[in-house]
Structure 1
Amino acid sequence: MPGASYGRALGLLASLFFMWGFITVINGTLLPHLRSVFELTYFQAALIESVWFIAYFFASIPSAKLIERIGYQKSLVVGLLIMAAGALGMILAASIPSYGVTLVMLFVIASGITLLQVAANPYVTVLGSPKTASSRLNLVQAMNSAGTMLAPLFGAYLILGRSKGGTAEAGVVLTEAERLADAQSVILPYALVAIVLVVLAIIIARFPLPAMGSATSRVAKADRKNHSLWKHRNLVFGIPAIFIYLIAEIGVGNLFVNFVSRPDIGNMTTEQAGRYLTFLWGGMMIGRFAGSAIMQKVAADKVLAFFSIGAFIVMSITVVTTGHVAMWSLILVGLFHSIMFPTIFTLGIKGLGPLTEEGSGLLIMAIAGGALVAVQGWLADEYGLQLSFILTAICELYILFYALWGSKPTNAFPDEAAADPQ
């Protein structure tokens, strides 16, 4: 039966969303760790995340070309194997240790994730009724959030908890020998990640995934000149919406540990602050499950507008308060950020028809907006960590604009559900 086939496929794809969410958020605990090991400034630490998201810019179009050449299923397998290779490379970077090799290997892992994103997001969107596309993508993205929720615990225990820098009080200066020992603590976590990725690649390779619907098939080159992506307002404004949203989400995730561990905020070690990061990503998981249910009855653009207003309010509170009020308001933004990426994505490709693949590639390329987290790192260095979150609050306002006006489709093609697998 189609429903059963779709259900099994969505369940397997959800595991992919889990893994790339897990690996991405490990950086949230990896950054304060590397900042200690290599004695980095906030800007240099944020540059690590920038390299990660720059990969989305460079790898998105090649990913779309690869999908066109070898198909969605083989592309998912290749993406997982690229990620596994990068995870093994992180073991090399830790053994040297080398800041430069770390940057290269994070770029490799992110390139693999980009390939998964370009393939899996539109696949989930068209795998079923168009009316519940946002609900469906939010549901599997909830598994992405489950990965982001568990990653801080994994990282806090196996990285920060096993390192001198992660368990030391704020202000303690590590010796050269202690920094070198700390670098080795990332070997076990990334070895485990590499093993899981290879196993998952084998499972995906052997699984009969349903075919995508004909409405999303690429048009012939002769007809392509008659169609323009730029006539679709929801895509044109959706690309910067994804770009800007990533600045907000990644900025919060990356600076969370440093912010919460401050004496005037949470007054705790980075290891303890890493555990609180779980609540931030846990809120995203809860929000996506709730959003998936809400969008069965309420229009996706209205839900997005409500969540963007909530995000602006709690970020404003974070900027102007101190202590646990500032800490918990920052944690709460995870709940409001929860539905933003999957909802913007489905609104952005709505009505693209045979242009869906190209539109998807551009939206995934916009994830490179996370690279501009380096701007927030610079703001933190120049004006203070707390004031840097003003940038996040401003980002929420653009999402509100997109929900209220920019997401309205123009020149839309008729929708069609995915083909029934034979």
Structure 2
Amino acid sequence: MKQNKQQFAFALITSLFFLWGFALNLNPILIPHLKKACQLTDSQSAFIDSAAYIAYFLLAIPAGKFMHKYGYKGGIILGLLLFAAGAFLFYPAAATRDYGFFLFAIFIIASGLTFLETAANPYVTVLGSPETSTQRLNFAQSFNGLAAFLAPLIGGTYILSGKTLSAAEEQAMSSEQLNEYLNHEASSVQLPFIIVGVVVLSIAIVLWKTTLPDIKEDETEKSEGSLLKEKNLLFGVLAQFFYVGAQVCVSSFFIRFSERVAGIEEKSAAYFLSGALLGFMIGRFIGTALMRVISPAKLLAVYSILNILLLILAVVTEGKFAVYSIIGVEFFMSIMFPTIFSLAIQGLGSKTKEGSSLLIMSIVGGAVFPVIMGAVSDASNIQTAYLVPAACFIVIFFFALKNLNVKNIKLSTAH
């Protein structure tokens, strides 16, 4: 009976990975879209990612404390409610075409996602055998990958118009014509985000009426001492900071990269991105299978080196080959977040929730590195800017090396 409850809970929680994956992977669509609608530079458009990922830094610890008092289920439901509220705010933001309003709506959505991730990631790791926790988390994260594939495909179809005005075309328009064009561009996000809000609110209601098993971490494994003494956790937080920064950089500027380096127009580039993120999803499933025969840390180290090499190729080559190099990076990033997460929180026992909060805080890397990359792009070009994520993977490689002696990842046992 206990096993059946855990399996049902695992299936239900896995659906949440799809939801936040869909929301976050709309950002690469919103960046070129709002760049047009709100007439932004590359650096300014990068604040779309900053608004999302700064929420993780600000709210991860409050989310962990909230769950200590109200449990995983309470954190998940609050996260879904915030998610829905932010989605609904896109309607007035588009009506006013106020970039600050858009950023606020994105921040509210991401605040909800912070609660979801802080709850769902450790919840999945303890819903079953501790020896298979990394495989289980990678499997759940695979549905995050499915959402990553669908988000640019759907967003590219229903949000992007495929029409980008040149400077000469803008100057040839009257102020009324230009304003009408910009308003039309902004309004295309309204219906999609209303639908997202309704779906998320519906799931919150279903979860509210569903009984989930209460999971308690093993208090005897580690119950005393500061998290600051957990050196592997702190290194994991640093690695996750650089990883999320790299992931967001690679995806968020993909459409701009494809336009500038290979001459691919935005709608087609969105479909290329969708294909890249399909590779990301497939990579999750393949990575989960490979971990049966290769240690997670060794796989992480190999994938880090491959990503560095692929990004160098993307910088020094031209045309579609450079774009395909970026697509390859998406595949090899697939296992990194859940693997770093699982390696970092191994053996924390009663401190798992707090450790998870620190790891979720490190997602703020997604707020920092895109701005750096946008500044590099404005100062040089978008192709050179891809050296920024290449540098990030060096840190991940060294974290993997430190954990090479870990064969079986053991987390606190579910009770």
Task: Give the alignment's TM-score, normalised by structure 2.
Answer: 0.94
- Structure 2 letter corresponding to 1:150: L
Residue 113 of structure 1 deviates from its aligned partner by 0.2
Matched residue, 1:30? 30
Question: Using the alignment, how far apart are the partners of 1:189 and 1:361 within structure 2?
Answer: 31
Asked whether 1:343 is paired with 2:339, we answer: yes
What is the match of residue 107 of structure 2? 107
Q: CA deviation at 1:228?
A: 2.1
Q: 1:259 to 1:214 in 2, by over 3 A?
A: closer
Structure 1 distance, partners of 2:247, 2:119, is 22
* Aligned equivalents of 2:197, 2:59: Cα separation in 1: 21
For structure 1, the residue ranges without an aligned partner over 5 or more in a row are none
The one of 224, 229, 232 equivalent to 1:231 is: 229
Q: Which residue of structure 2 lines up, in the alignment, with residue 201 of structure 1? A: 204
Q: How many Å apart are 1:54 and its aligned residue?
A: 0.8
State the match for 2:300 in structure 1.
Answer: 304
1:287 maps to 2:283: yes
* Alignment partners' CA distance in 2, 1:251 and 1:32: 14
Would the alpha carbon gap of residues 266 and 4 (structure 1) be closer, same or farther in structure 2, given more than 3 Å must change?
A: farther
In the alignment, the residues of structure 2 paired with residue 285 and residue 360 of structure 1 have an alpha-carbon distance, to the nearest angstrom, of 23
AA aligned to 2:385 is S
How far did 1:42 drift?
0.4
Distance 1:207 1:298 in 2: 37
* Counterpart mapping for 1:52-67 below 5 A: 52-67=52-67
- Which secondary structure state, in structure 1, belongs to the residue aligned with residue 414 of structure 2? coil
| Alpha-carbon distance between aligned partners in 1 of 2:227 and 2:404, rounded to the nearest angstrom | 14
Pairing 1:394–2:397 present: no
Give the counterpart of 1:275 among 265, 271, 276. Answer: 271
Instruction: Give me the whole-angstrom Cα distance separating, in 2, the residues matched to 1:172 and 1:324.
Output: 27
In 2, Cα distance between equivalents of 1:4 and 1:86? 34
Deviations along 1:139-171, one digit per CA (max 9) or x if unpaired, are 0000001011000011111100xx3xx334766
Question: Residue 256 of structure 1: which of 254, 257, 262 is its match?
Answer: 254
Does the aligned pair in 1 maintain the 2:38–2:97 contact within 8 Å? no
- Are the aligned partners of 1:218 and 1:357 in contact in 2 as well (CA < 8 Å)? no
Name which of 155, 177, 181 aligns with 1:178: 181
One-letter identity of the residue aligned with 1:155: G
CA contact 1:238–1:407 (8 Å) conserved in 2: no
**Identity level (%):** 40
CA RMSD of aligned residues (A): 1.9
Map of 1:187 onto structure 2: 190
> Post-superposition shift, 1:209?
1.7
Residue 361 of structure 1 is matched in structure 2 by 357
Structure 2: how far apart are the matches of 1:389 and 1:122?
Answer: 32
Find the partner of 2:366 among 350, 367, 370: 370
- Residue pairs, 1:61-140, within 5 angstroms: 61-140=61-140
Structure 1 position 379 matched with structure 2 position 376: yes
| CA deviation map 1:169-198 (0-9, x unaligned) | 766745221011111100011011001101
SS in 1 for 2:312: helix
- The Cα shift of 1:311 comes to 1.0
Residue identity in the other structure for 1:115: F
Q: What is the number of equivalent residue pairs in this alignment?
A: 405
TM-score, length-scaled by structure 1: 0.92
- When residues 414 and 375 of structure 1 are mapped into structure 2, their CA distance, relative to the original with a 3 A threshold, is closer
* Between 339-348 and 120-129, the greater mean CA deviation after superposition: 120-129
Gaps of 5+ in 2: 171-177
